């Protein structure tokens, strides 16, 4: 290969020097990809189809192909079981995994409240960080600095809100939407 023309002159160009020692990871990436997020991505919790869900919905993000199916078993107005299926980036999958962990034991109304707090956090309002109700979801606060990724973090929550909006007690058909 004729590499001679490139070897010397590229160091003077405005492109990065090849072969440099590993560049430090920017703080923005450290705050986005916290260990707890990567852990939920690689070992998702409740990533399973429920045997008898009362509520299911599938939503996708057509721009990136991320898909989340959220399944709930609601008794009275309490979420007694939550699971999810789907595929996508670390942010969408970790967020959905955390969601299922946080909403079990809550009423649909309480789950909707949590969703509202989390949505505020992602849109740059730091006040929900003080709220213990968010638990490990607080690790996703870094997403607010990445506007194009906010929709990833909210995909599972959009599913939840659709289910809550559809009303408690009735079984929703899986509805592709967005």
Partner 1 sequence: MEADRSHLAPPPSVGGSDPAVATEADWDIEAVRAQFPILSREVHGHPLVYLDSAASAQPPLRVLDRIDRYYREQHANVHRGAHQLSAEATEAYENARATIADHIGADSDEVVFTRGTTESINLVAASWGSRFVGADDIVALTKMEHHSNFVPWQLLAERTGARLRFVDVTPEGTLDLEDFDRALEDRPKIVAFMHVSNSLGTINPVSDLTERARAAGAITVVDGAQAAPHMPIDVQGLGPDFYAFSAHKMCGPTGIGALWGRRELLDDMPPYQGGGEMISEVTTAGSSWAAVPHKFEAGTPNIAGAIGFGEAVRFLSELGFDGLAAHEHDLAAYALARLDEVDGLTLYGPREDRTSVFSFTYGDIHPHDLSTILDQNGIAIRAGHHCNQPLMDRFGLSGTARASFYLYSTRAEVDALIEGLRMAARVFGGLS
Binding residues for partner 1, rule: CB under 8 A, are 1-6, 9-10, 13-20, 22-23, 25-26, 28-30, 32-33, 35, 38, 42, 63-67, 87-91, 146, 149, 152
Token code pair at residue 82 = 């939550």
Nearer to partner 1, 42 or 80 (CB): 42
> Measured from the CB of residue 146, what is the shortest distance to partner 1 in angstroms?
6
Return the residue matching tokens 């997020």.
37
> Measured from the CB of residue 50, what is the shortest distance to partner 1 in angstroms?
23
Neighbours of 34 (CB within 10 A): 17
> Measured from the CB of residue 119, what is the shortest distance to partner 1 in angstroms?
20
Q: CA–CA separation, 57 vs 156, rounded Å?
A: 10
Nearer to partner 1, 53 or 88 (CB): 88
Nearer to partner 1, 67 or 104 (CB): 67
Task: Please name which of 89, 97, 91, 117 lies closest in space to residue 31, comparing C-alpha atoms.
Answer: 91
> Measured from the CB of residue 8, what is the shortest distance to partner 1 in angstroms?
12
What secondary structure letter does DSSP report for 133?
Answer: G
Q: CA–CA separation, 94 vs 2, rounded Å?
A: 46
Nearer to partner 1, 113 or 136 (CB): 136
43 by Cβ neighbours in 10 Å (0-12 / 13-18 / 19+) ranks as: exposed
Nearer to partner 1, 27 or 116 (CB): 27
Return the residue matching tokens 């058909």.
173
Phi, psi of 87, deg, nearest 5: -155, 155
> Measured from the CB of residue 167, what is the shortest distance to partner 1 in angstroms?
32
């Amino acid at each position: 290969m004729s590499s001679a023309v490139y070897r010397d002159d590229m160091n003077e160009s405005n492109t990065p020097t090849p072969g440099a020692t590993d560049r430090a990871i920017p703080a923005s990436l450290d705050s986005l990809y916290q260990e707890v997020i990567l852990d939920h991505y690689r070992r998702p919790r409740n990533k399973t189809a429920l045997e008898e869900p009362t509520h299911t919905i599938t939503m996708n993000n057509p721009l990136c192909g991320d898909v989340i199916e959220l399944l709930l078993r609601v008794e009275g107005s309490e979420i007694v079981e939550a699971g999810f299926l789907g595929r996508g980036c670390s942010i969408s999958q970790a967020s959905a995994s955390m969601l299922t962990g946080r909403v079990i034991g809550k009423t649909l109304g309480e789950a909707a409240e949590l969703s509202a707090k989390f949505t505020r956090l992602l849109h740059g309002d730091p006040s929900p960080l003080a709220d213990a109700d968010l638990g490990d979801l607080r690790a996703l606060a870094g997403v607010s600095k990445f506007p194009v990724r906010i929709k990833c973090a909210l995909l599972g929550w959009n599913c939840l809100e659709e289910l809550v909006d559809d009303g408690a007690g009735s079984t929703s058909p899986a509805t592709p939407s967005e």
